[in-house]
Each structure stands twice: as C-alpha cells, then as structure tokens.
Structure 1
Amino acid sequence: MKRIYIAIFTLSLLLNVLSAQDRPNIVFLLSDDQTSAATGCYGNNQVITPNIDKMASEGVMFSNYYNTTSICMASRACLITGMYEYKTGCNFMHGPLHKDKFEKSFPVLMRKEGYFTGFAGKFGMAVSDGDSWDDKSWEVMPVDAYDRWGGGPGQTNYKTAKNERIAQYADEYPHSTRAYGAWANDFITDAKKSGKPFCMSISFKAPHLPFTPDKYFDDVYANKVFEKPANYGAENATHLSPQAKSGRQYNAYNFWRESEESYQKAMRTYNQLIHGVDYALGMIRKALEEQGVADNTIIIFTSDNGYSCGAHNFGGKVLPYEEASKSPCVIYDPRIPENKRGMKRETVAANIDIAPTILSYAGIKAPDNMDGKDLNLLINNPNKFKRETITLTNMWGNDEIQSMSVVSKDWKYIYWQYESEKMKPTEELFFVGKDRLEMKNEVKNPEYKNQLNSMRKQYDKQVQEISKGAVTYNDYQKYSILFDRNASAEEKKPYLTGDYEQVLKEATQKRKEKQKQNKH
C-alpha cells in the first residue's frame, strides 16, 4: 500500500512538472501614468529605456495602444476583467469592483486552472459589494485571491519601508521600484518550487505623482535638457473644445508651465522614475534566466494610462488626447521564431485586450462578458483581426470633461457632451494617422465629411452598447443619455452632478459616516 501511495505522489509531481512545461508562465508588468511618448522604442530618443526597448526588439510592439478609461482605478478594472468601464462599474466617484466581476478576472481564472499566482505593488482599486468602501483600506484588497501577495491599498508609497508587504527589502532597496524587482525574484523562485506554471503581476507606483525617483539613478538625467513637443503650451490648445479646458488637467498641474526650470525638473524626475521601472524589468528578466524558466515565460509590459506632460497645456491624464490616453504595450514571447521578432502592429489595441490575451496564452477560454480581443490573433494573423475602433470614455471629474470618443488607427472622433449657456456640445475629429500631435480639428473640413459621418456612426453604435450593457448600479446608466448626440440639454440636466469638488467632498463625508456606523 505504501508503494502505491508513493507511486501516486510521484505521478502527481510528474504531471505538475509536465503541466508547468506545457503551459507558459506569464509576467504582467504595469507602470503607472506612463505615456507611450516617454519610451525609447516609441520614437523618443531623449529617454533611456534599454530593457523595454530590447523587449520590443525581441517581441511585438503595439504602436496604437489605448487605455479605454485613462485613470488608474477604472483602467485597472478594465485590465483584469477585459471589460469597458460601464460594465465593470468601477471608478472613483462611482464605486468598487463587485466581487462577481472580480471572480471573472484573469488572475482568479488562472489560479482556478492551476496557475501559481502572485501580485505586488499598487492594486489601485477596491473589490467589494458594500456601499461603504475605501480603496485605501486593506479590507477591500483581495489578498487571499493570490498565492503570493506583495501589494498594498491606495497609492502605496515610494519608500519601501512604508509598504507593509515588501518592507523586508527596504535595507537593500529603499525605493519601492527596485524592491518590486527583488520581490519578483523571490516569487519566481517559489513558483518554480510549486511545480505549477505561474502568473505574476507587478504594478509599480512609478511614475505617478509625487515624482520621487530612486536616487540610485540620479546620474541618468542629471543636467539633461528636454526639448518640448510641438504641441506644448496653451497657445497650442486654442483649437480644442472649451469643455476639455474646464477641468484641473488644464487649470492645475502648474509645475509643467510655471517656468522652464520647473518643466525641466518635472521631465527629469518623471523620466527617472520610468528608468527605474525599466531597470526593474531587467532585474526580472535576469531572475527568469537564473531560475531556468526564461524560455517558457511570456512578458507583457504596459501602463494604466498615459500622461499629458504639458501637451496642449494639460497635466495629468483622463482626457482622450494622445498623450493622456496612449501607453506603451510590448509583448515578448520567447517561443516566437526569430523572423517574427521586432514586429510592430499599427491596428488599435487597448487595455481591455490584456485579460483575454493572457487567458489565451494559458489555454483558457475567455468569458463571454469580456469586450477585449485576443492580441495573439493580431500578432500572428493580423488580416483576421477585425476591429474598426476602440472606445475611450471619461466618466470621472467635473461634468464638462466627461466625454466619449472612438479611435481607429488613423482617426479619432471626440464628442464633448456638456451643454450650458457658455458651452455647446462640441465635436472634434483628428487625423491621428498624420496629425499625431492633434494640432488641427478637421470636423469642419469638407474633405473629411465622409470620414466624420463614419466615425459618428461608430460612436452612436457604442452609445447603444452602453444603453444595453451598463451596470445598474454606481451611477452608470446615465451615460446612455449624457453621451447621446441627440439628447437635449433638458434631458441631460438631471444626470449632471454640479460642482465636482462639492460632490466629491459630500461623497467622502458620507463614506466616513457609514464606516463609523459599521464600526459601532
């Protein structure tokens, strides 16, 4: 009998090993607020990102990768669920990701299918079914959903010692970015011992504000003077809608425009933080080599949203313009043949594609609720990857900037829905295939009338999708009215929030009162 047990145990171990060899490991790396324009392989010769650039030269780079909602909480929910925001029901001002949605996210599904899973870094959202929630609370962190957890609530901290789950790395790596690289090394070691294929996700805080780079890299951009892009500053925003210029993205973030000195300091520290993430990528690839698993490990690198960096006088993200909505996206699969490495794909891709793509690599069928597509098809058979447009929404902030747009490889149509005595609903049409800096609104150009009508049809089709698919909670159904090009000001009025700062203050106060009641 003892021999039978030993044989069964040995067979089980052998099957685990074979399973790990058959199914690839997957590493998903996410920076925070990194615009694609701040990455060397995307054409910026002023920045130093050697590991990302090398990964692009060995893998596939998606030239037109967009975040369907360009703000961290909502984007992260889109990334792990493969759904548009109005179906995740998750964003600041709205509410948390409900548990039933999280149960269909890629990390949960992969663990159920035998993957050894781990997460480290800024989780960036709340998972909860309750009315009282706080993304800064441990109570809404899905710690037990992973085999290993090195994450934290809220924004986390650049100081390693102030992040509870990675504090043990603080002596050697006082800045969190390299500490996550060290955590990854330990996770890969444990994952290999488990005998299972693994899926490791790391969400760096960098380069999110406050710009606090790792001093280890102080020499990288010391005394560097960055050239401003041609669309920098308010003088290059006169053609944009008044709605776009009504929010804090245009009226705050003064460090981008106070002086030449403040601009250069912001650019140096922002890019130094990205360089730290690039270095951590190098640490992770080295760990994969040392553990002998590099040949069977797929790496995906992207960011949760872009960053304006002073373009059109904007700071921050949120808006549907190129700098704020686009991020780098690179996939490295060591199994692809040499003659396919270094490919670029121009077709629009998006954060909603990440979850179905990862599941596809793992041999797991994506749930029907996912809106995204498997990017493997775009990589291997682009002619069969059918997609006309991606939809970009902003459902956060003051009423004026809440908007929807559709974007293809060459065109972007934006509809600014807000209407008042001072503002009328505004359309913008940019030929982004030729005018990547979005310097000319072509909406009144008769030469592009057919293109405008085509993009309007794509837009209207997406409004219908929102009408059919928006969750019935967290204040999302209103967008089928607000974003409707045919809705009147009177029809929209009941759905406008008014003073954004006051609404935010009242919501925060209400949440604190509910938390106090729950404690009692």
Structure 2
Amino acid sequence: MRIAVVDYIRCGLVLFGGLLIALPTSANDRPNIIYLMTDDQRADSLGCMGNSIIQTPHIDDMARQGVVFENAFVTTAICMTSRACVFTGQYAARHGIWDFSTELTEDQLSKTYLGQLHAAGYRTGFIGKWGVGDPKSADALLDFNQGFSGQSQYFAGDVQKKQGRHLTAKIGDQALQFLQECDAAQPFHLSISFKAPHCQDSRDILSDQFPSDPTYESLYESITIPAPYTAAAEYYDRMPDFLKNSINRDRWAVRFRSPSRYQQSVKDYYRLITGVDAVVGRIRAALKEHGFEDNTVIIFTSDHGFFLGEYGFAGKWTPHDVSIRVPLVIYDPRLASRANPLRRSEIALGIDMAPTILGYAGVTRPREMQGVSLKPMIEGRQSSLWRTSFFYEHWFTAGGRIMPCEGVRDARWKYGRYFVPGQVVAGVARWEELFDLKTDPHETVNLARDPAYADVLEQQRAAWRRWRQQVQ
C-alpha cells in the first residue's frame, strides 16, 4: 500500500534523503515563551527570595511552581551592555556594546534569540525598554514591536503629580493585546522589558526618584524598612577616594541622604516592583483565558541589581553582589506538577537567557553564544559539569564618574580589579579587591593588601587573566 507524503507529515515525520525525520508532534515540543526582565531589581527584592516586606504574590506563586536560581548574576551591571549580553548570549568583550550609542549590527540581531525564534517560525513580540539603540532596528525580527528607546517616563503627564496611566500598567495593556492576537496554531515568544523599578533620573533632590503607581501608594506606609548595616558611615569610609567621589555617591545623596528620604525611596522602589508583579498576574490570567496557560514557559529576571544605600552608594556598576546579583525564576507549566518547588544553587548568568530561551524552542544556539541553556538543569538532565566561577566586566565610564573594572567571582572568593583611566585594555590596576564570601558575604573586609592572603590574591589574578582571554 502506498502512503502519501502528507500521511507522514500528519504522523510527525518527513522523508528526507530516504530517512524518516521526526518533526514536533505537539504544541508541547514548541512551547510559547515569555521573557520578563525588570530594570535595576536586586535579587533580594522578591518574597520568594526571602524578603518578608515586599509584596510579590504572583511571582512568588510562579516560584512555588517553578525553579528559583539562588545564585543568578549578570556579567556587567549597566543597562545597555547587560541587555546586549542577554540578547546575544555573549560577554560584552565579544559583542562590543559598551555605550548608549552603539547598536547591534544586522548580523548580530539575526543571531539574537529574537532573530533565531523569528527564523524558526515563532510569532515574536517585544514590549518596553529596548536599551540598545533604536528598537526599530529589530522591526524585521518582530511581529509586534512596542519597544521604546531611552528611559521613557513613568507618566505621560506631570511625573511628580503622577498624571496619566503608569508606564508599568501600559506595558501590561500591551502584553494583553499581544496575547489576544496570538493563535494556538503558531507558537509565540514575547519579551517584556520593564522600566521599573529603575529610578526616574533627576538631580533634583526634592523630586520623586521612583514614581510608583498611585494604586500602590498606601502599600508599606506603616512599615519602617531597615537600612542595611553596611549603610553605616564606616563602610563608606573604607572605600577608595575614586569611589567615594563617584556617581554612586552622587546618586546616594539624591535618593538616600536622610532616614526619611531612604524610607520614601525604598518604599517607592518596592511599590514599583509590586506594580510589575501585578502585570505578571494579569499576564497569567490572560494566558488562562486564551488557553495558553498549559504550554507557556515564563522566565522572570532583571538586567542587574541595585545599591539601596550599601557602602553609602546608590546605582550599580561595581562588582559588589548587590549590584550584579539578580532574581531568576523559570516556570514551565509542564513540570509544575512536581511535589516540591525546586531551588538551584548553581551559578546562572544573564548570558544564559538566550540559550535557555532557544533551548525551550528546540532551536540550536548560534556558535557565537557563550551562555549555556538552563533547560536541562531545570529538567534534571544536566551534566555533572557546570561553571564554578564567572567573569565580570564593566568598561563604561560616564565621562570619568564611573570607574571601569573587571573581576572574577566563585562560591568562595571575589576578585575585583579597577583600572587606571585610559589603560583599561592593558588591564593596569588602580585598585584591587579580594573578599572571602564564606566569612564576609557582605564584602566589608578587603583582603587584597593583607599579606596572609598574598597567595590567594595571586591565584585570583591568574584566574582573571585566564577569563579575560577566554571571553574574547
């Protein structure tokens, strides 16, 4: 009996060169994928990460049903470069985006996870802060493009009077529009890049630095948020002069200069995150409404962390954990029936996001990607070999107000190397840091000049040299 080619296709097979090749036979083989990324959200600013004050019920619910990575980091802590790392799956030393004016090339864009998913037949969407030049540069890769360049504003009207609909809520509206236009016959991917909880940059010491949605204005009002103990002046005094006089300190003066200002800023920072959580809830409800809930993987993370007064600083940029550590929750409804929530202690990186997204889509990652898919680990199939350290890089200087630096972090040690201005490529050190994270997890005692740790320091320098060459 002769079997038509169409019958093979209906069975999930295709005849190629005399061989039957299996094709995806169900929607589960090509799930929908939603990638949610906040801006400036530190790792400890979720309930599921141990914060007993902040209210993030929808993300916490995903964490209970999904996987929480307790040691998730970015390889650079500044918006545009970190986003380029996420898009490309590469260290900045390879993709070359170090400033706000450089864009990804057409070839680079085609090899981002967005370009690869579009080529693989996914309906692709992007909403929010693009962060790497003009989002229109990605029009050819996106079926739905609501990206914006720059920082945008939380309110279209007067920011201080909070006039108009809050930007986070608008992003939620756009997400629901995208989902409404999706069809079960075609898998979709949606990336949402929130502005929140990034501040509304202003040098006005009286302005609201974190303009939150009035909906959440009463949240946290009766609570006093404790300042970190490293906010004490003695820890600022230990810093080198170039950090004492950096933009980190300038931003601290605007946002955290007094106890009352600290309470206002941190509470608004938390309110912005609660606003994001509400959008997560709206998205999950829409997935259920449209019949996508059982086949949509959701990834939630941030582009980098944020100082909330530690060492007398605000902002990010340095290699300290509060600057580079981020939340990471991955929810796969196909695995949600597991009896216990899963928490992983392995090091996960921002450069792993692109390979992970492509892994869920069944798309082979481009060879240029340096990150690794977390999907096998989530499914319990990972190799016993996994990274035990990673490289940190930051070359953006903001006209000399931010010091370029690099470093290496593993489970025990952190080595940081700040460079002499103009000698970054040569790697000439202006200042070195060495922290024993086992005994000093808050990075308060610099051991780099302690003779007792000279051997450890040299080992870490050697690791830095190896990593620096490897990531090119």
Note closer, same or farther for the CA distance 1:318–1:446 as it changes in structure 2 (3 Å cut).
Answer: same
Give the conservation status (yes or no) of the 8 Å contact 1:115–1:196: yes
Q: Is the CA contact 1:106–1:359 (under 8 Å) kept in the aligned structure 2?
A: yes
**Structure 2 CA distance for partners of 1:160 and 1:61, relative to 1, 3 Å:** farther
- Equivalent position of 1:49 in the other structure: 56
Gap change, CA 1:450 and 1:285, over 3 Å in 2: farther
Partner SS state of residue 288, structure 2: helix
Q: 1:17 to 1:427 in 2, by over 3 A?
A: closer
User: For residue 106 of structure 1, what is the amino acid of its counterpart?
Assistant: Y
Equivalent position of 2:205 in the other structure? none
Q: Does 1:435 align with 2:437?
A: no
Provide the C-alpha distance between the structure 2 equivalents of 1:105 and 1:328, rounded to a whole number of angstroms.
22
Displacement, 1:419? 7.1
Among 170, 188, 209, the residue aligned to 2:179: 188
The number of residue pairs the alignment matches comes to 438
Structure 1 residues 316-327: aligned runs within 5 Å: 316-327=315-326
Matches within 5 A, 1:19-98: 20-92=27-99, 95-98=102-105
Q: Which residue of 1 aligns with 2:375?
A: 376
Runs of 4+ in 1 over 6 A off after TM superposition: none
Over 3 Å counting, the alpha-carbon distance change for 1:174 and 1:344 in structure 2 is same
Q: 2:466 aligns with which of 451, 461, 468?
A: 461
Distance apart, 1:174 and its partner CA = 1.2
The answer to whether the 8 A contact 2:102-2:132 is kept is no
Q: Is the 8 A contact 2:100 2:132 kept in 1?
A: no
* 2:361 corresponding residue in structure 1: 362
- The 1-side partners of 2:362 and 2:165 are apart by 38
Partner of 2:20: none
Cα distance change of structure 1 residues 174 and 81 upon mapping to structure 2, 3 Å threshold: same
Report the secondary structure of 1:188's partner residue. helix
Amino acid at match of 2:54: V
Partner SS for 1:183: helix
Match of 1:408 in 2: 410
Distance 1:161 1:259, change over 3 A: closer
Give me the TM-score of the superposition, normalised by structure 2: 0.85
In 2 relative to 1, CA 419–76 (structure 1 residues): closer, same or farther, beyond 3 Å? closer
Matches within 5 A, 1:24-423: 24-92=31-99, 95-126=102-133, 135=134, 140-159=136-155, 174-192=165-183, 195-210=185-200, 211-336=210-335, 338-339=337-338, 341-379=340-378, 380-381=380-381, 384-397=384-397, 398=400, 401-418=403-420
Q: After superposition, give the CA deviation of every residue in 1:386-414 in whole Å (9 maximum; x if it has no partner).
A: 21211111111127610101111332110
Does the CA-based 8 Å contact 2:33-2:296 persist in structure 1?
yes
The 8 Å contact of residues 212 and 269 in structure 1, kept in 2 or not, is answered as yes
Q: Pairwise CA RMSD of aligned residues?
A: 3.0
Q: 1:446-480 CA distances to partner (integer Å, 9 max, x unpaired)? A: 665554343222211022235xx3xxxxxxxxxxx
SS across alignment from 2:183: helix
Letter in 1 for 2:363: I
Q: C-alpha displacement at 1:232, in angstroms?
A: 1.1
> Gaps (5+ residues) in structure 1?
1-6, 127-134, 163-170, 470-520
- Tell me if the contact between 1:74 and 1:90 (Cα under 8 Å) persists in the aligned partners: yes
Cα gap change, 1:93/1:182 in structure 2, threshold over 3 Å: closer, same or farther? closer
> Counterpart amino acid of 1:411?
W
Distance 1:37 1:301 in 2: 14
What SS does structure 1 have at the residue aligned with 2:432?
A: strand
Q: Is the 8 A contact 2:37 2:303 kept in 1?
A: yes
CA contact (8 A) 2:65 2:336 kept: no
Paired letter, 1:91:
W
Asked if the contact 2:29/2:362 (under 8 Å) is kept, the reply is no
Decide which moves more: 182-191 or 71-80: 182-191
CA deviation profile, 1:133-160 (whole Å, cap 9, x unmatched): xx5xx6x542332111122121122236
Moved more, 28-37 or 241-250: 241-250
User: Which amino acid in 2 is paired with 1:274?
Assistant: I
**C-alpha separation between the residues in 1 aligned to 2:228 and 2:320?**
14
SS in 2 for 1:64: strand
TM-aligned CA deviation for residue 382 of structure 1 = 5.4
Would you say the 8 A contact 1:320–1:405 is kept in 2?
A: yes
Q: Distance between the aligned counterparts of 1:64 and 1:445, measured in 2? A: 28
Partner SS state of residue 358, structure 1: helix
Q: Is the 8 A contact 2:109 2:138 kept in 1?
A: no
The answer on whether the counterparts of 2:231 and 2:312 sit within 8 Å (CA) in structure 1 is: yes
Please say if residues 66 and 336 of structure 2, whose CA atoms lie closer than 8 Å, have aligned partners that are also in contact: no
Letter in 2 for 1:367: P
Q: SS where residue 181 of structure 2 aligns? A: helix
1:490 alignment counterpart: none
SS of the residue corresponding to residue 457 of structure 1 reads helix
| Alpha-carbon distance in 1 for matches of 2:439, 2:181 | 48
Query: By how many angstroms is 1:235 displaced?
Result: 2.0
TM-score normalized by structure 1?
0.78
Q: Secondary structure at the match of 1:346?
A: strand
Q: Which of 231-240 and 16-25 deviates more?
A: 16-25
Partner Cα distance (1:396, 1:273) in 2:
27
Percent of paired sites with the same residue: 34
Structure 1 240/182 Cα, relative in aligned 2: closer, same or farther at 3 Å? same
Q: Which residue identity does 1:205 align to in structure 2? A: K
Question: 1:199 and 1:245, CA in 2 relative to 1: closer, same or farther beyond 3 A?
Answer: same
- The answer as to whether partners of 1:93 and 1:396 remain within 8 angstroms in 2 is no
Query: How far 1:19 moved relative to its partner?
Result: 5.4
Residue 59 of structure 1 deviates from its aligned partner by 1.0
Would you say the 8 A contact 2:172–2:283 is kept in 1?
Answer: yes
Contact 1:118-1:187 within 8 A present in 2 as well: yes
Deviation of 1:385 (Å): 3.8
